[in-house]
Amino acid sequence: MQLTSFLASGGYDPLAPDTFGQALWTLIIFGLSVPFIWKIVLGPIVMALEERDGHAKEAILAAETAKEEAERVRAEVEVSLGEARAESAREMAEARERGEKRAAEIITAAEEKAKDLVVSAQAAIRSEQDKALSAIRSEVVELSINAAGAIVGRSVDSEDDRRLVTEVVSGVRGN
């Protein structure tokens, strides 16, 4: 009869006073099934959730480690970059210094060569002057001998006459 009342009433009402036995059995069955539900259904779900949390924690730790490593590498790169810049500046200064030193050497060598050229040119000029003066003296001697010969009326060609005129011309130069 209860089955008919259950079907006739349209459903199960555990709070109805005439169905207290059914409510009791429902609680007993639920109590007995909870450990199985926990073990079979909720256990794997809880384990999966815990495993997922573990993976998330590992991923967070790995990300933090990677971040720390990236920061360390960035700091090392900045230090290396600073060292490279300092090295570059030092090498540039050394190159500039070598260039200035080389330029000074070239200028000094050019000045010395110019002085040598001036001294050489002066020596050449003096030599040419001496040659020209010697040629002029010889010409004056010849002219003097010819003039003396024309005045005296005889030929003045002897070696003795030439020596005398040469001494006179040299004496004029000495004064």
Inter-residue contact 137 to 168 (CB < 8 Å): no
Inter-residue contact 13 to 1 (CB < 8 Å): no
Letter for the amino acid at 100?
E
Inter-residue contact 170 to 137 (CB < 8 Å): yes
Confidence (pTM): 0.40
Per-domain boundaries in the chain:
52-174
Taking the C-alpha atoms of residue 141 and residue 147, their distance in angstroms, rounded to an integer, is 10
The pLDDT score that the predictor gives to residue 148 is 73
Letter for the amino acid at 150?
A
Query: Please, what sign has the CA dihedral across residues 141, 143, 144, 148?
Result: positive
- The string of pLDDT tens digits covering residues 56-69 is 999 999 999 999 99
- The string of pLDDT tens digits covering residues 117-146 is 999 999 999 999 999 988 888 888 778 777
- The string of pLDDT tens digits covering residues 142-171 is 787 777 777 766 666 667 666 777 777 676
Mean pLDDT, range 99-108, rounded to an integer = 94
